Each structure stands twice: as C-alpha cells, then as structure tokens.
C-alpha cells in the first residue's frame, strides 16, 4: 500500500519545496559602525551558510530578498575591519521598522612583523600575493550572479541611472575574462538616461561643441559591464590597466613604496593592510592605494586605489577610483563587488559640469568551479559585447525588481 502512494508523496514534497523556494522574505535596512553610527560602505549581508546575499551601498543601506526556506537560518553581516555578527532571521522579521545592524571595529596596530625569523615588508606581501593568485583563485569555469548599476552625477547630484541583473560566466583565471559570457536577466534605466548619455558621455573627445577640461571621458566602444569587468586589476592581473599598470609586476616598481600600515580582520582571518604611494613627488601623476591581503595564504581580499593627474595651470585632480573585494567560497576567492569611478569635467553649452561616472557590480550568488556546467543558461539572454547596455533590447519587468537584491542609491531614479 505504501509503495502505491510513494510516488504521490514524493511529487507533493517536490511541489511543496518548489513553492517554498519561490516565496520570498525581505530584509531592509542599514549596516552601521557601532562607534560612529555611520553607514559601513559595501558591507556584506547574507546567509551564513551559502554564498547568497547582497552588498550594501556606499552609505551602508541594503535591501535583501531570500527564499522563505532561509527563515530559520542566521544572517551574517560582515565587512573588512569589523567583527562579523550573526542575527537569527526569524527575529529580524519581527522588526516593523527598517533594520539597523551595527558592526564593531576590529583593527590592530603593528609594531613589527616577523615571519620565519625575518622581517616582512609591504613589497614582499604584494609579491607573495601576486604569486599566490594561481592557488587562491578559481582556474575552472564558474558563475557570479549580480546586480550592475551605471549612474552619472553632475555637480554632486544624480542625473541618470541604468541598472540590471546579470549572470557572468567566467572561464576561470587560466583564461582571459573576454573569453567569458554574460547573460541578462533584466535591464532598466531612468527617463533622462539616454539624454544625459548623449550630452555628457558619448564621443566627448570627438565633439568640437564640448570641451574636456580634465579627466577622460567614460565612453566605451561596446557595453559598459564588459568595460567594468575588464578594469578589475586582480582578474586581469597580467594586463596593463590605465590607472595601475600590470598588477603582476607592480611590486617590482622602484617608483612605488609599499608599507604595511596595520593589520585588521575579515571574520576570524588576519589581514595585512598595505599602503601604496610614490617614492617621490611626481610632477604630473600621483597614486594612493590600499591592498588588503589575507595573512594565512596571501589572498587578495580587497583593494582601494586612486589615480591623480596634475595638468599645467591646474591643481592635482582625481581621475580614477577603483574599489573591489573578494569572498572565500569553498577555499577559492570570488568577487564580492567591483566599483569603478571616472572623474571628469566638461564645458557644455558654455557651462562647466563636474561629472562622476560610476560603474558598479555587486555579486549576490556564486556557483563555484566544479559545481557549474558551462552552457547551462539560455542563449536568448546572452549579452552582445558590441552594444551599449541600453541598446540590448531586453524587457524590463517591474515585478522582477520587487524581489531582487539590489543596492540602493541615496536618491532613487527608477521606482
């Protein structure tokens, strides 16, 4: 008798599990510094047991949707330099107001670092981190699912936004990122996006009616997400990038100084914080950077880098800024977020315009190497690498965004 009803019981169980997976719970709020009360930029909020979650914006705000199956699990909130905190999701769901999740700083000053009887230098840490890329990062194909946004600020105010949900199929660190594929789930943009794109971004250098006062136009011949991924110094460690050069050989440069400033923590792991600066004052260029290297295996976990240029009759100005962070999934490092900012100034319609073009990618979910089978996604969603994102022709479904994990702008442009 039991055997007769076993297939029906299995079917009911599978249907119930599928329905639960489709139902969502929502957690919204801000991650703050317990001492200052300020938002913790790019803090990670997600499942403690799986690489599923969201990255907070630069003001610490987050909006996270999870399957209802996670309601009895714990939510982990983490950021480099802070103690990781766990919260029971069931308890958080009882809160009626937006959540305020506080993190306590966890930083230790260094007197002197000695390893195997010899003092370790900042230059040596960077050298060993570069050499360890082969063992610390995935060699085989993997997938990073995430939220991309491309927004423009003019004179300190948001003027346009494009955002999308994407699936990045990476062939692994043995191959160039250009060999990978990107699939689109959704793309949408603000009403003024195309107008501002034409006015402030497209073909600035070739237009006699617009004058570039400083900086470089963020216009790319192709799609913007591909450009952002191509400017990741760790993923493209063998390539020369405009703002940093070649990461593989950076530690060899005598023109740069590498100093271990202090060490901090990522969860329970100690992390070196190595500051990078020119060894002497340059006439036209300056750089400021911090590399966060995990002590136990010399894995790159975070990088913040700024590039400045001094033009004749003008002061030193920032042209580029890049920030990125990696997360450990099953013993390999996968991207958590990547942010690239282009600073430039134009004369348009006989008026000055101070502009910042932001391109950011926040990873919500990872399918690690060994778990992903290439070709698993529909070709209908394949991104055309030769077209701008707004010209890809993908439909915007408003219902999709109600359950999607995306970082929040201080002044939303798309409802």
Burial grade of 240 (CB within 10 A; 0-12, 13-18, 19 or more): exposed
Residues 109 and 103: their CA atoms lie apart, in Å, by 19
Examine the pLDDT at 352 and tell me if it is beyond 90.
yes
Span 184-202, pLDDT tens digits: 999 999 988 999 999 999 8
Residues paired with 231 in a beta bridge: none
Ordered DSSP codes for 20-71 = HHH-EEEEEEEEEETTT--B-TT-EEEESSSSBEEE--TTSEEEEEEEGGGT
The whole model's pTM is what? 0.83
Average pLDDT value for the chain: 85
Q: What is the dihedral of CA 184, 178, 406, 381, to 10 degrees?
A: 10
Q: pLDDT at position 9, please?
A: 45
Span 239-257, pLDDT tens digits: 988 878 899 999 999 889 9
The SS3 of residue 207 is coil
Span 115-167, pLDDT tens digits: 444 568 999 999 999 999 999 999 999 999 999 999 999 999 999 999 999 99
Span 259-299, pLDDT tens digits: 998 888 888 889 999 999 988 756 678 889 999 999 999 99
Q: pLDDT at position 178, please?
A: 87
Fold designation for 2-105: Immunoglobulin-like (2.60.40)
């Amino acid at each position: 008798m039991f055997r007769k009803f076993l297939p029906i019981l299995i079917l009911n169980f599978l249907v119930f599990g599928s329905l639960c997976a489709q139902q969502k719970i929502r957690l919204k709020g801000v991650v703050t510094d317990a001492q200052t009360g300020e938002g913790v930029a790019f803090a990670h909020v997600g499942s403690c047991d799986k690489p599923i979650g969201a990255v907070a914006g630069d003001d610490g705000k987050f909006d996270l949707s999870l399957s209802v199956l996670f309601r009895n699990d714990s939510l982990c909130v983490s950021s480099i330099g802070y103690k990781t905190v766990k919260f029971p999701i069931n308890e958080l769901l009882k809160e009626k107001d937006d959540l305020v999740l506080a993190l306590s700083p966890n930083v230790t000053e260094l007197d002197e670092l000695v390893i195997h009887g010899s003092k370790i230098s900042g230059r040596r840490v960077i050298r060993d981190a570069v050499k360890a890329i082969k063992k610390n990062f995935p060699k085989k194909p993997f997938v990073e699912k995430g939220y991309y946004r491309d927004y423009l600020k003019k004179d300190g105010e948001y003027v346009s936004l494009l955002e999308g949900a994407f699936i990045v199929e990476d062939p692994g660190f043995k191959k160039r990122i250009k060999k990978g594929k990107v699939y689109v789930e959704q793309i949408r943009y603000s009403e003024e996006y195309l107008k501002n794109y034409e006015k402030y971004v497209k073909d600035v250098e070739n237009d006699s009616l617009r004058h570039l006062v400083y900086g470089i136009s963020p216009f790319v011949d192709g799609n913007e997400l591909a450009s952002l991924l191509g400017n990741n110094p760790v993923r493209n460690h063998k390539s020369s990038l405009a703002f940093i050069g070649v990461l593989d050989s950076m530690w060899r440069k005598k023109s740069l100084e590498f100093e271990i400033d202090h060490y901090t923590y990522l969860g329970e792991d100690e992390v070196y914080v190595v500051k990078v600066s020119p060894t002497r004052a340059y006439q036209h260029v300056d750089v400021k950077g911090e590399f966060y290297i995990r002590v136990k295996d010399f894995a790159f976990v975070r990088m913040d880098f700024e590039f400045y240029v001094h033009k004749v009759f003008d002061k030193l100005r920032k042209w580029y800024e890049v920030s990125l962070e990696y997360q450990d999934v099953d013993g390999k490092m996968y991207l958590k977020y990547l942010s690239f900012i282009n600073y430039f100034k134009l004369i348009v319609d006989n008026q000055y315009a101070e502009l910042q073009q932001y391109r950011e990618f926040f990873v919500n979910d990872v399918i690690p190497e060994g778990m992903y089978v290439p070709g698993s996604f529909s070709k209908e969603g394949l991104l055309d690498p030769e077209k701008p994102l707004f010209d890809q022709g993908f439909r915007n479904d408003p219902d999709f965004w109600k359950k999607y994990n995306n970082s929040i702008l201080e002044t939303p442009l798309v409802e």
